[in-house]
Amino acid sequence: MASILVVDDELSMREFLDILLRKEGHEVATAADASGALARVAQGDLDLVITDLRLGRDSGIDVLRAVKEQAPSTEVVMVTAFATTENAIQAMKLGAYDYVLKPFKVEELRLVVAKALEHRALVAENRVLRRTVRAPREDALLGRSPAIVEVRELVEKVAPARTTILVTGESGTGKEVVARAIHLHGGRREQPFVAINCGAIPEGLIESELFGHERGAFTGATETRAGLFEVAGSGTLFLDEVGELPPPVQVKLLRALQERRIRRVGGSRDLPVAARIVAATNRELGAEVQAGRFREDLFYRLNVIQIRMPPLRDRREDVPLFLEHFLGRFAAEQGRPHPRLSPEAERALLGHAWPGNVRELANVVERAVTLTTGDVIDLSALPPNLRGRPAAAPAEASALPEVGLDLQGHLDAIERALLEQALERTGGVKTEAARLLSLTFRSLRYRLAKYGIGGE
């Protein structure tokens, strides 16, 4: 539930948006002009302001300016008639999140609202992330398969040096666990371990997240902020999903690695880089270079030493160990005795292909422990895809019924079904679901938000 202010000089529009947004579960306030809006803005605590660009004699731009001055993290969406598109673009430059052209469809507005709120949550989440980075979890790199034994040896060998490391492997294989192990074995235990998922931060924010910004560098930069390179100090900076970095940021990262210096956005002074950089990717970065999406020089810089995490299906001998480990961990977390697996449940777990790798396994075990009240975990506590139920296929997807159909609604239903199946198959691991559907992570997230799936 979000707190939203609707500003419009037309009563009918205010009422319409008020009803629509309340139905979605939001708390809504309305104002008919700029002074009413500013009074509400001054009270604070708004997640989103939706304002018409024309407010009788007032301008929505003034509302936008006031919001960005008083509460820069509140998102603003402009509503505008086609004739004033120019002004809408100006509004974006002043920090509006997006604009909607009148007349708009309900779905369109709903989506922009969802995206704006998601954006706000991501920014907030990232701030939280920064504050909690200093407490690394002590997750040991478990496994007795030859592949993992080799990875452990390599980690110990490379940890003491400052060389950049590239960890590759499918989503959920333990790339972050490896990065943390490098951090701990490299004598940086007392220093921060800072992780950032480059694919989960909106494009416009990544540069300032990584390198920081000076006050006034862009709209919304009301104070000077250190970037994650600085926050990491002489600890470790873990760049997850490095393949998702937009090209301009790739250039800046290359410079940071080559010269070991960075410059804040809007800054005039270089700052030294002391942190060790560990990057990770679940994409084939070589292929991304071939396709022109990733800089070749940066690839070679990152790829000095590569650690490959094999998928769980290629090291099945580790599955029993992980099952034991996570059963113990989740039972302890829930204050319960260590449960056993029924023979059927064990067979299903050992036979599963684990496309979402260790993360999927951990999720499945957590779910099973939560759903089981006794001390034996049975097949019924496992998700349907592990119980051998075939995935539901959208029936007769391309047959046109006699009476015709609502094409968009029909296509949406198919899209929704496929998204749900992909998430189910990967145990909720979104990066892996995106790969199954040949989508980028961003695009998948957008679609999930559109259909309200997966808690987005």
Ligand X SMILES: Nc1ncnc2c1ncn2[C@@H]1O[C@H](COP(=O)(O)OP(=O)(O)OP(=O)(O)O)[C@@H](O)[C@H]1O
**Which residues would be at the binding site for ligand X (CB under 6 A)?**
139, 141-143, 169, 171-177, 240, 280, 282, 358-359, 362, 431
Buried (b) or exposed (e) across 89-100, using 16+ Cβ within 10 A?
Answer: eebeebbbbbbb
- CA dist 229 and 50 (Å) reads 35
Q: What would the DSSP string read from start to end of 384-434?
A: GGGTTPPPPPPTTTTPPPTT---HHHHHHHHHHHHHHHHHHHTTT-HHHHH
The H-or-E segment that residue 252 falls in is helix 247-259
Cα distance between residue 159 and residue 171, in whole Å: 23
For residue 197, the cross-strand partners are: 240
Residue 155 Cβ, how far from ligand X at the closest point, in Å?
Answer: 11
The minimum distance between CB 359 and ligand X, in angstroms, equals 4
Q: How far apart are CA 24 and CA 113, in angstroms?
A: 10
**Least distance in angstroms from the C-beta of 358 to ligand X:** 3
- Note the residue count of the chain: 456
- Nearest-approach distance from CB 120 to ligand X, in angstroms: 23
Name which of 126 and 171 has its Cβ closer to ligand X: 171
Give the shortest CB-297-to-ligand X separation in angstroms.
Answer: 24
408 or 438, CB closer to ligand X? 438
Nearer to ligand X, 143 or 355 (CB): 143
Output 96 or 177, the one with its CB closest to ligand X.
177
Nearer to ligand X, 75 or 240 (CB): 240
Strand partners, 307: 167
The residue (of 142 and 413) whose beta carbon lies closer to ligand X is: 142
Closest CA to 201 of 220, 228, 174: 228
Q: Smallest distance, Å, CB 239 to ligand X?
A: 11
Closer of 212 and 243 to ligand X (Cβ): 243
CA end-to-end span of the chain, whole Å? Answer: 12
* Gap between the Cα atoms of 33 and 63, Å rounded: 9
Q: How far is the CB of 442 from ligand X (least distance, A)?
A: 15
